[in-house]
């Protein structure tokens, strides 16, 4: 199979778990649990077809403002996910990176993600980025502080270039986002990978994340393949 037309990096904002739960008169956590099933399928399919990088927005720096029981349950769900999925992910050569400040996570979530990153460190398959306690403004603030620190220590060339910044983003060494998908009909980036998505094609399916299927994902990939990308240039 050829990779022509396939995005190298897909980023997904998995939105609509709460609305799905409400529609079915379930608790919000049932929505998140169902959302994990979708995410398992999408990871598996992305790995099978040879996507290089898949980034999933699991918990933002702003999500801490949700009711405490929901935050605690989401953290438990994340730990559970890593414990139950890590064997299969590792077997499929998936390499895990966490985007975000893991110091701010609960101890059990931090331990689970550190273990998952360490175990899959040398894998060569799908690069799976899970954004946890992530926000693009927070990410850029960290980059600026690290540049200032280096400048103070005399370790910087005179002018800072984009490469100096990109090298310090959580996604350092990875290609930019080619395709960004946000489910549930909302059309916002919500502080997700703002700089990495500078030239991303965006697709906003109406379906809520728990209802999103591999067939919907295939539609998004086909739509992406039909888009003309100019990166600020002109088509000839
Ligand atoms: C958005 O739905 C979803 C989230 C804030 C969390 C996404 C998390 C998961 C799918 C599961 C945990 C992740 C991993 C990696 C195991 P929402 O609650 O904002 O939906 P709403 O807008 O309909 O209320």
What would the DSSP string read from start to end of 204-235?
--SS-GGG--HHHHHHHHHHHHHS---TTS--
**Which residue segments constitute the domains of the chain, with CATH numbers given?**
3-135+176-226 (3.40.1180.10)
Rounded to the nearest angstrom, the distance between the alpha carbon of 236 and the centre of ligand 1 is 42
63 catalytic? Reply is: yes
Q: Reply yes or no on whether 123 is catalytic.
A: no
pTM of the predicted model as reported, rounded to 2 decimal places:
0.95
234 beta partners = none
Handedness of CA 117, 122, 123, 128 (dihedral sign): positive
pLDDT per residue as tens, the chain (236 positions)? 346 699 999 999 999 999 999 999 999 999 999 999 999 999 999 999 999 999 999 999 999 999 999 999 999 999 999 999 999 999 999 999 999 999 999 999 999 999 999 999 999 999 999 999 999 999 999 999 999 999 999 888 778 999 999 999 999 999 999 999 999 999 999 999 999 999 999 999 999 999 999 999 999 999 999 998 888 888 76
* Ligand 1 pocket, residue 77 CB under 6 Å: yes
Which residue CA neighbors atom 18 of ligand 1 most closely? 18
3 state SS of 144: helix
């Amino acid at each position: 199979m050829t990779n022509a037309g396939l995005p190298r990096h897909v980023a997904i904002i998995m939105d609509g778990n709460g609305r799905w739960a409400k529609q079915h008169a379930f608790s919000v956590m049932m929505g998140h649990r169902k959302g994990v099933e979708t995410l398992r399928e999408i990871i598996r399919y992305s790995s099978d077809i040879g996507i290089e990088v898949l980034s999933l927005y699991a918990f933002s720096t702003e999500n801490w403002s949700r009711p405490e029981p929901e935050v605690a349950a989401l953290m438990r769900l994340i730990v559970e996910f890593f414990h139950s999925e890590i064997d299969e992910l590792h077997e499929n050569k998936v390499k895990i990176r966490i985007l975000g400040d893991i110091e701010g996570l609960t101890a059990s979530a931090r331990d689970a993600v550190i273990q998952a990153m360490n175990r899959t460190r040398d894998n060569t398959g799908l690069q799976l980025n899970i954004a946890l306690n992530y926000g693009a403004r927070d990410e850029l603030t960290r980059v600026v502080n690290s540049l200032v620190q280096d400048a103070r220590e005399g370790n910087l060339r005179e002018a800072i270039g984009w490469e100096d910044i990109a090298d310090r983003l959580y996604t350092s060494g990875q290609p930019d986002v080619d395709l960004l998908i946000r489910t549930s009909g909302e059309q916002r980036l919500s502080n997700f990978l703002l700089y990495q998505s500078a030239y991303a094609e965006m697709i906003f399916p109406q379906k809520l994340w728990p209802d999103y299927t591999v067939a919907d994902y295939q539609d998004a990939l086909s739509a992406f393949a039909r888009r003309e990308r100019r990166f600020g240039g002109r088509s000839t």
